[in-house]
Amino acid sequence: MTEKIVCLGKFTSNAILDLDALSRHFGLRNIFVKDESYRFGLNAFKMLGGAYVVGKYLANKLGMDISEVSFEYLYSKEVKGKIGEIIFVVATDSNHSREAAWAAKQLGQKAVVYAPRGSSLTRLNNIRKEGAKASIIDEDYEGAVKLSEEMAKKNN
């Protein structure tokens, strides 16, 4: 099967795969597959959720809509001077927490992740590689959510 890879976007390594041989086999003009498995180098297809939440929160702190700000602007010294340091608290051991940790790091902020008991150590270490302080607690998911809420309120 012949594949043509076209990279899209400045901050992504998303690719559109043109599956020529497969499209010919089925008598179709083209078959394209969007490969998001390596988005931002995280090997996760659903990367944008956590990054969007981080960006939206920062935009709101600035009194702006997320559609009015760029990634570069949110990373700027001007923004850092206006909002200071923020620590994002996330409860889960999924890709969502990893992407939130990645976005926080990229935007000069910090993240803390509380994962429920039984969480994968591999995932936890991947979250830590994104700069987050991450730990597995002796609670279920609801306990991790509750702890995250408590820590966020306690630390403003």
**So which residues are the catalytic ones?**
46, 93
d(Cα 156, Cα 151) in Å, to the nearest integer? Answer: 8
d(Cα 145, Cα 148) in Å, to the nearest integer? Answer: 5
- Residue 60: how many CB atoms within 10 A of its CB? 11
Q: Are 93 and 71 in contact (CB under 8 A)?
A: no
